[in-house]
Chain A
C-alpha cells in the first residue's frame, strides 16, 4: 500500500469514527428527550404523534448541529463524585443551620484565594458550583484559574475540602491538556 493510500485509509477511518460518534450522540439525545417527555407529561403523552415528532427532531438537530468538543467524562468516577457531593452538601446544610440558629452567631467570615488546577469549561464550572454548596465556602470570583472564595469560618481549614473536591472532579473528567500530550 502506498503512503497516500494509507493516509486516505486513516482519514476515512477517522471520518467513520466521527460519523459513528455523531449517530451515537443522536441516539442518546432521542433517549434523553423521550425520558424527559415521559417524566414531564406521562407515558400516554409520549406516544402522541406530536411528542414522537419532537423527540425525533431533537435527535435530528443533534445530527445537524456541530458537536463541539467532547466532554471526556470518566463514568467510573461519577458515583464517587455524586456520593461525595451528597454527603458534603448535607453537612454544609447542617453546618449553616447550626450557625444561623446559634444565639452567639459563631461565624468569622473572610476571603481566601485558591488556585485551581482544573481545565476551563465544565470541570472548573462544576468545581465553582459545587464548592458553594460545601460547608462554609462560597465562590465569589474567578480570574484565570485564581478563585476568590468567601469562607464563613476563617479558623477552619477550607483548603482541605477544596483540594478534596478538586481531586474528585479531576478524576471524573479527562484533561484535554494532558490528552494532547499523548495520553490515552
Chain B
C-alpha cells in the first residue's frame, strides 16, 4: 500500500519533469538552450519514474535492470546532446538554413 502510493507519487513527479523538459524544448529560443532542457529534465524525470518502478520490482535482478536502463539512457542522452551541440557549433543552427 505504502509502496504503491510512493510509486504513484514518484512517477507523477517524474512526468512533471518530462513535461517541463518538453515545455523547454518548445519555448527556448535556440538549439543549445533546448538541449539543456531535454538532457537535464529528462534525466531527473526518468530517474524518478525508475525509482517508482523499482518499488514494484519482483526482485534484485529487476531493480538492477531498471537501474541499468537509467544509466544507459543517461549516457546516451548526454552524449547525444554534446554531439548535436558540436554539430550546431561547426555547421550553424539548422533553422538558419530556411
Contacts and interface: CB of A to CB of B under 8 A. Distances in A.
Interface stretch (A53-61, A62-70, A97-105): A97-105
A109 B32 contact: yes
A146 to B, nearest CB: 13
A132 B30 CA distance: 16
A113 interface: no
A162 interface: no
A38 B40 CA distance: 30
A20 to B, nearest CB: 30
Interface of chain B: mostly helix, strand, loop or mixed: helix
B61 interface: yes
Q: For this complex, into which size category does the number of interface residues on chain B fall?
A: 35 or more
Nearest to A99: B24
Contacts of B40: 89, 92-93, 95-96, 132-133, 135
Interface string B20-49: 110110011110110111011101110100
A40 interface: yes
Interface of A: 35, 38-40, 42-43, 89-90, 92-101, 105, 107, 109, 128-130, 132-133, 135-136, 138-141, 148, 150, 152
Interface of B: 16-17, 20-21, 23-24, 27-30, 32-33, 35-37, 39-41, 43-45, 47, 61, 64-65, 68, 74-75, 78-79, 81-82, 85-86, 88-90
